[in-house]
């Protein structure tokens, strides 16, 4: 019997990859969660997510970021884009902690809704943020790619844990 | 009287681990969803919802969270922020019989768009006030996601034995799912 909350896979970066990919995701859960901590290697302070290797403009996102030096900043992806942004304001020296939730990932009737939250230190400033958006195709998610929309690489020893949640 | 959501399933057997599925409800044109007879054997609760509405065009709408069928305004204090594009709105410090604010909703006019939310309720069976944290996504229209964080205390010392999720916009569409999970404390 599928456990209600179960680790599917954990990836720890060895070297400085530009992507982290989860393949062959089982279809036995209801929602997916990715928990992790990461830094960037030399550049690229944000993280995007793609599903089933889809690089088309089939994604939308909205963000709100709180920081230690000013008012909240909100913006969106400017309409359809090629990824959902899920993390921002990473640093090369300090780990960013994050949680990414993907709802109803096996549905072949509805889009996939995504929400994420994260906190970071970038230089001397602190950030806390949320993202929300989705992937519009009605396909079961079988793979997830975490990538760097503005270029750059993940640092060595960045950790990504994929978890499945099963509703009975 | 609100029509209760259809019970899709209830927990039939214990699953290993501290995080267990208690019940799953589905939207079926109902305007309110109600989890009842919640066992007091967990430490915390989490509700995960995937939803949209059956009525309305586009634009801001919302849902509310209540406990134990309690409609006493003084029992629900609430705060929230929500954003859409460059717009950010923060509200709070009020009491209302509507219940605790949820996050932005999804009207039927936002074609093929579905919202989601996570509701965390800690120490739900304790003898002190309870508090809910809510985080989620809505859609203003088909190209404009809305994001929100909300929450507040439920100022009743009674254990939570039922949870109501009520929309102010009509009803939850077929395909909407509401999943209740229990998180165990230490053995």
Quick check: A11 and A141 in contact, CB under 8 A? no
Note whether B112 contacts A110, CB cutoff 8 Å: yes
Q: Mean pLDDT throughout A26-50?
A: 95
Closest residue, chain B, to A135 (C-alpha): B113
Higher pLDDT, A122 or A70: A122
pTM for the model: 0.93
Note whether B112 contacts A63, CB cutoff 8 Å: no
Q: Mean pLDDT throughout A69-94?
A: 94
Q: Mean pLDDT throughout A28-35?
A: 98
3-state SS, residue A122: strand
Residue B4 pLDDT:
39
Quick check: B5 and B162 in contact, CB under 8 A? no
B85: which chain A residues are within 8 Å (Cβ-Cβ)? 62, 74-76
CA dist A163 and A58 (Å) reads: 24
Predicted ipTM? 0.95
Note whether B137 contacts A114, CB cutoff 8 Å: yes
Instruction: State CA B141 to chain mean position distance.
Output: 21
> Is the Cα torsion angle B19, B23, B24, B25 positive or negative in sign?
negative
Residue B16 pLDDT:
55
Question: How far does B66 lie from chain A, in Å, by closest CA?
Answer: 22
Question: How far does A72 lie from chain B, in Å, by closest CA?
Answer: 8
Note whether A130 contacts B11, CB cutoff 8 Å: no
CA dist B49 and B136 (Å) reads: 9
CA dist A132 and A114 (Å) reads: 6
CA dist B33 and B43 (Å) reads: 22
Residue B7 pLDDT:
42
Q: Is the pLDDT of residue A162 over 60?
A: yes
Closest residue, chain B, to A1 (C-alpha): B15
Taking only the tens of pLDDT, chain B with its 187 residues reads: 333 344 444 433 344 579 999 999 999 888 899 999 999 999 999 999 999 998 888 887 889 999 999 988 789 999 999 999 999 999 987 888 889 999 999 988 888 999 999 999 999 999 999 999 999 999 999 999 999 999 999 999 999 999 999 987 778 999 999 999 999 987 6
Distances from the Cα of B106 to the Cα of A13, B26, B43, B50, B113, angstroms = 38, 16, 31, 10, 7
């Amino acid at each position: 019997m599928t456990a209600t909350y179960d680790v599917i896979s954990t990836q720890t970066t060895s070297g400085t990859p530009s992507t982290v990919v989860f393949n062959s995701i089982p279809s036995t859960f209801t929602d997916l969660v990715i928990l992790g901590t990461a830094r960037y290697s030399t550049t690229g302070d944000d993280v995007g997510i793609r599903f089933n290797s889809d690089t088309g403009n089939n994604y939308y996102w909205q963000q709100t970021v709180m920081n230690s030096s000013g008012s909240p900043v909100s913006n969106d992806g400017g309409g359809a884009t090629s990824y959902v942004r899920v993390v921002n304001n990473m640093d090369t020296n300090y780990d960013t902690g994050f949680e990414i939730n993907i709802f109803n990932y096996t549905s072949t009737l509805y889009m996939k809704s995504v929400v994420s939250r994260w906190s970071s230190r970038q230089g001397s400033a602190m950030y806390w943020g949320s993202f929300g958006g989705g992937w519009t195709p009605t396909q079961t998610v079988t793979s997830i790619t975490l990538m760097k929309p503005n270029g750059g690489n993940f640092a060595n020893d960045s950790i990504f844990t994929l978890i499945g949640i099963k509703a009975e | 009287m609100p029509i209760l959501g259809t019970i899709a399933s209830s927990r039939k057997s214990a699953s290993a681990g501290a995080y267990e599925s208690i019940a799953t409800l589905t939207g079926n044109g109902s305007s309110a969803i109600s989890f009842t007879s919640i066992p007091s054997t967990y430490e915390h609760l989490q509700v995960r919802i995937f939803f949209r509405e059956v009525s309305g065009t586009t634009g801001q709408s919302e849902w509310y969270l209540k406990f134990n069928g309690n409609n006493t305004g003084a029992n629900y204090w609430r705060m929230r922020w929500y954003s859409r594009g460059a717009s950010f709105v923060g509200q709070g410090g009020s009491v209302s019989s509507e219940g605790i604010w949820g996050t932005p909703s999804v009207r039927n006019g936002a074609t093929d768009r579905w919202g989601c939310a996570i509701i965390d309720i800690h120490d739900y069976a304790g003898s002190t006030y309870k508090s809910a944290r809510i985080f989620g996504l809505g859609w203003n229209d088909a190209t404009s996601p809305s994001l929100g964080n909300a929450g507040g205390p439920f100022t009743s010392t009674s254990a939570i034995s039922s949870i109501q999720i009520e929309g102010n916009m009509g009803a939850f569409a077929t395909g909407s799912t509401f999943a209740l999970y229990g998180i165990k404390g230490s053995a």
